[in-house]
Amino acid sequence: MITVISGTNRPNSNTLKVTNNYISLMEKQGVSPKMLSLEILPKDIAFKDLLGIRTPEFEQIINQFILPADKFVVLSPEYNGSFPGILKVFIDTLPPATLKGKKVALIGVSSGRAGNLRGMDHLTTIFHHIGMHINHFQLPISSVLNLLDEHGNLKDGPTIKVLNKQIEEFLKW
């Protein structure tokens, strides 16, 4: 099973829009991934779950999206030259054994020029430390505001093409 993670809890984010488009592209290739938006994380995750006080809400997230998955795709927006703090809290709250040995592909999303390259580097370092296998095809998506139409659909042919290529390679891996 594949879990696709929209790496921010910001409502109606561009990252969520790209995530939804990515999932549609995966479905066209015959895959039905699960989608986890960090918007559904418990509001007190940093004050309970991170401290070892496991809430039923977070336990359900682990059981539904993390434990059954053998592959992950993490779409991460750029926040201050890296990735969102809520994504780090989410990773830190998961027992490392739930991720060790699993495969992950990374996509950076940015309204700027770099497509969150630094954030993907930071995530790569963290995931290597945990013992995950990182796919070589890391994809920076830059100038995301120019790539989406008014309904949040990707309208840029070259971006759709490279997303499809990443999906194809990731599914073979």
Kindly state the average pLDDT of the residues 66-81: 95
pLDDT tens, position by position, 80-98: 899 999 999 999 999 989 9
Distance CA 76, CA 72 (A): 12
How far is residue 14's CA from residue 16's CA, in Å, rounded to a whole number? 5
9-56 per-position pLDDT tens digit: 999 999 999 999 999 999 999 999 999 999 999 999 888 877 888 899
Q: Are strands 103-109 and 139-141 parallel, antiparallel or unpaired?
A: parallel
The domains found in the chain, sorted by start residue, are 2-172 (3.40.50.360)
How much is the pTM?
A: 0.93
Band (pLDDT 50/70/90 cuts) for residue 113 is confident
Measured over the CA atoms of residue 82, residue 83, residue 86 and residue 92, the dihedral's sign is: negative
Query: In this structure, how many other beta carbons lie within 10 angstroms of the beta carbon of residue 129?
Result: 9
Query: What is the tens place of the pLDDT at every residue in 118-169?
Result: 999 999 999 999 999 999 999 999 999 999 999 999 999 999 999 999 999 9
Q: Is the pLDDT of residue 62 over 90?
A: yes
User: What is the gyration radius of the CA atoms in the chain, in angstroms?
Assistant: 15
DSSP code per residue over 32-75:
--EEEEGGGS-TTTTTTGGGT---HHHHHHIIIIITT-SEEEEE
